[in-house]
Structure 1
Amino acid sequence: MGDRIMIFYGSYRSARQGIRLAEWLVGAFAERGASAELIDAKALDLPMLDRMYKEYPKGEAPPALEALAEKIRAADAFVFVTGEYNWGVQPGLKNLTDHFLEEWFWRPAAIASYSAGRFAGSRAGLAWHGILSEMGMVVVSSTLAVGAIGHSIDAAGAPVGDGGSALTRAFPHFADDLGWWAQAARTQREHSAPPY
């Protein structure tokens, strides 16, 4: 059985371009034998954070939170697909992520950033590195950064042009890095219980 990889996407905008990258990643990981699932913050539509999942009495969390917590706990690795808003992170993705904490622990995460411009969401990617580390994930060093997102992945979801070519060249290394850490973390969890 391949790695169980959850791919999180957080834009709530009406003309979302980054969803193409998120959906392409699901397919690209599946071609490598992984079981990849897209979690779209807009489709899930969690409320603004009031209480974290862990703050509900056992069995009383809203069904969407309960189901997502179970999926997160069962995953081997995570990919966060993030656009950049004013040098920062997308609020939809941040809100979804903040509903959980211990559920993320002891698994690797990777960051795929994008933007309409030439910086490819790199500043948001940098911000997410610190956020995910603080939330107990091991953030792999490989990243994907797709600039001119509207011209790098077409409406059918295929990488095109120079940006698309760069994405397809970078993906194998990105996936190998995440896969190595997923296997290492899974093996260690089987060998010994996490310290907390």
Structure 2
Amino acid sequence: MTFLVFIGSERQSTPPHPARLGERVARACAQRLAASGAPHTFVDPLEVELLSPFKPHFSYPRGKAPDPLDALAEQIAAADGYVMVSPEYNHSMSPALAHLLNHFGSSLYSYKPSAIVTYSAGQWGGARAAVNMRTYLGELGCLPVSAMIHVPKAQEVFDDSGDYLDGVEPDHWDGYFDRTIKQLLWWAEAAGRQRAYGSADTPTAFTRAPSQRNAPG
């Protein structure tokens, strides 16, 4: 199995300090995936060239989408699960993460699990954003596992590499992260087996436009 770890921040300015806490938290998630033997790839919005104005991947004629979108679409389709790392903006997920994910239809994400990981420089750890993300990811098709990770004052927990800072208790945090990661792995394995089984009764996700979800009228 392989997993994508989405970094839900593209801000490189201060405040807060340090500027990009999400990268630290994403690296910490990657370490726990690696400890469980799960390969992973980072998806960083700073490294994905998105065109303006917004135009989703599925709205291009086949074979005509920009190369960066095609490449990421292939990664999303090939992955067995997703780790969504986000700060909180107005009680919601980060605009950078939503903008990136919205470029692709649910046909690429569907029938695979996701894990919600939020963080903050303050005391709440982005927990209110996580409530919003459950609805969003469910609509996208990659249903989130029940356990979630919230990291308050992330700048006091992780260094730039995602390692624990001095004075942080590793066993406490490893166990906390692993509860979510192990749920993600369990559901990813179960979903992968079902996809391999190839049930003819599997409902299809939309492939061209969200209007495919509409009731007949």
Shorter-normalised TM range: over 0.9
Given that 1:120 and 1:146 are in contact with CA atoms closer than 8 Å, whether structure 2 keeps it comes out as yes
Distance 1:189 1:39, change over 3 A: same
Q: Distance in 2 between matches of 1:127 and 1:46?
A: 24
Q: Distance in 2 between matches of 1:64 and 1:166?
A: 39
In the other structure, the counterpart of 1:69 is 73
Distance 1:181 1:126, change over 3 A: same
Of 186, 194, 199 in structure 2, the residue corresponding to residue 188 of structure 1 is 194
Given that 2:27 and 2:161 are in contact with CA atoms closer than 8 Å, whether structure 1 keeps it comes out as no
Q: Tell me the TM-score normalised to structure 2 length.
A: 0.84
Identify the structure with the greater strand proportion: 1
Residue 35 in structure 1 maps to residue 39 in structure 2: yes
SS at match of 2:149: strand
Residue 143 in structure 1 maps to residue 145 in structure 2: no
Tell me, which stretches of 5 or more residues in structure 1 are unaligned?
Answer: none
In the other structure, the counterpart of 1:118 is 123
Given that 1:10 and 1:42 are in contact with CA atoms closer than 8 Å, whether structure 2 keeps it comes out as no
Within a 5 Å distance, the mapping from 1:92-107 to structure 2 comes to: 92-101=96-105, 102-107=107-112
SS at match of 2:124: coil
Identity across matched positions, percent: 35
Given that 1:151 and 1:163 are in contact with CA atoms closer than 8 Å, whether structure 2 keeps it comes out as no
What is the one-letter code of the residue matched to 2:55?
R
Give RMSD over aligned pairs. 1.7
Identify the structure with the greater helix proportion: 1
In the other structure, the counterpart of 2:135 is 130
| Structure having the higher Rg | 2
Structure 1 segments (4+ residues) deviating >3 Å: 160-166
Given that 2:26 and 2:162 are in contact with CA atoms closer than 8 Å, whether structure 1 keeps it comes out as no
What is the one-letter code of the residue matched to 1:41?
P
Given that 1:49 and 1:95 are in contact with CA atoms closer than 8 Å, whether structure 2 keeps it comes out as no
Q: How many residue pairs were aligned?
A: 194
